[in-house]
Structure 1
Amino acid sequence: MKIKLGLVYGGKSAEHQVSLQTALAVIKALDKEKFDVHPIYITEEGEWVRGAQLTGPVESVKELRLSKGAETFTPVMLNQKLFPSTKEEDSSELDVIFPLLHGPNGEDGTIQGMLELLNLPYVGNGVLASAAGMDKVIMKNLFAQAGLNQVKYVSFTRTEWDKSREEAYKKVEAELGYPCFVKPANLGSSVGINKAKDRESLITAFEEAFEFDRKIIIEEAVVGREIEIGVLGNDEPMCSVVGEIAPKKEFYDYKAKYEDGDTDLIIPAEITEAEYETIKEMAIQAFKAIDGAGLVRADFFLTEDGTAYINEVNTMPGFTPFSMFPLLWKHSGVEYPKLIEKLVELGIERHEQKQKIKHTF
């Protein structure tokens, strides 16, 4: 019997377009003999649009921007309303939801919380892991508590910055120095990130980062290779081979990731067995520190002397066949269509475990 899979994509986020690319790739890769695919599009304004079950090929992102002939609605806490059936004989419920959303209002625990309330199985990380993984400050605080090695960092809210901008700049200079990286705390895909080399560029970087979030994080720059590893599983996660990001620019920004391809991905990365074991163990510790489920991509810096610093985990990493996470698993023996199937299995498995929990006393 086929699995009725709901794909939720788009979203009210600066990463809307990235999500559309992900959805297109997943739709093309899904085995239509195993899955009935139901598209659910969230517009940039936050409007939900339910499309008919896909029965033919989808060739472009444009086709995924559902509007005419689709049902538009505001989500409510009623499963029949949120995911209505198009056939009377079908169950109104989809079997499992795959949130293909990047960034705020999707990857940050918001939609995961809604799906928990609806008691629907879904792919990927839960509310806690998604929220912690989205907020770089909270994430790094959890890593620190877990004893994971990471670079020094400071953070500010817009209110703190507005009250005393000069003090904020001085704190960065005293505790981190130059160069340093300034980032929005709750955004991915390198949106709003800049490298500051002096006071002038620091001010500019603060201003841009605050355009995308009310909280920012500033991190000490470290000279090292950018190493990434995939984690897959629930309570007993396993790791892929490692890959290396070799940007031809100063750092791996949004344009290098999604537009000009001006970056080399080296898989597997040339590191020692001891370095791999260290990174693998740290990745699993990080996964457990945020109570991960399904998948994360863990990103590290590896210095010349072999010291590994965890930078962050991404709870919904880039997920086209050419993105690092799927490529890492391809080189580990798990092809893209099988990776999708495995993630769906993990989502259903986690949901079944939750059904064993008592809610009365």
Structure 2
Amino acid sequence: MSRAFNFSAGPAGLPEAVLQQAQEELLEWQGERASVMEISHRGKAFIACAEQAEHDLRKLLDVPPDYAVLFLQGGATQHFAQIPMNLAAPGQAADYLLTGSWSLKALSEAGPYVDAQSIASSEGDGFVDIPDAQAWSVRADAAYLHYTPNETIHGVAYDYVPEAGAVPLVADYSSSILSAPLDVRRFGLIYAGAQKNIGPSGLLLMIIRRDLLERTGQARARIFQYAAHAKEGSMLNTPPTFAWYLAGLVFKWLKQQGGLSAIARINAEKAELLYRTIDESAGFYRNPVAKRARSVMNVPFTLHDPELDVAFLEQSKAAGLLALKGHKLVGGMRASLYNAMPLAGVKALTEFMTEFARRHG
């Protein structure tokens, strides 16, 4: 087998143990004499699979009973618009904190439905830090406060959970969900595209306080109503069954690793090793993000001479280190260190970086 270390920002790598189990079960699953993706989502076998996945997720995140867990179609971008449709009356205020490209997109997509305003932004500084918690306040009539705890492109992460008072806090956790323990009770709604720390693309995980499902929201088809999906157990329509099944395997894998506290320690060790390599490179590599706001999941960095970028990417790929090219908005390189990336992969990357700097410094 010639699998390499995959540093892609998403769709990202999955744990090898999960892929191996899926491979073993692909043709015949759980005695059904068919693949899990070929059986009815309304049959007893898949319903049991779905219920187990939700049970394991609730255990991992300690999700209280007064929160619904939804497994929905689409990615976070679709729900940038769908969230205001469900949580706000037409034209109602909705506040946003801006720290990068994804929070900017969330604000933009909400515009047609609510009075969406940025109440704090780090755009003026190039999205290399997070807003000071004392520098903004939530409008009292806001339907919700939205923020992005981890910006995948810019490699910026909050080191605190914003206080929203009585206003529900909404968070796009797409690139950091399940990477560390999380107090769900501080949020009104958490949503996350699956393709980074949960499973394959096409699935969106949502954790929503049940009282928010009772909001009238705006005129919309039933398929766009979160309350309708919750009432039907995320089976209002045919769900992405294979992605749901794989997510369930990932949840079990996380439990086998010791849960989120254990995975958080590994993630911190991986990030510390990579940032130390960058910081101690005597300027050969550089990460622009303020140290307090550095992401554990996504680490962008540039080389001191952009002319070396092509060689770095070609040689790193040959060394079995994949998908290190940075996003076009930022340039340079980016290493994503999601849960499935083993410490051995980060060690291989930092050893390559050190040797590359020695040869080209």
| Shorter-chain TM band | under 0.3
| TM-score normalised by length of structure 1 | 0.26
Q: Greater RCO between the two (CA within 8 Å, min separation 6)?
A: 2
Larger relative strand fraction: 1
- Structure showing the higher helix proportion among its residues: 2
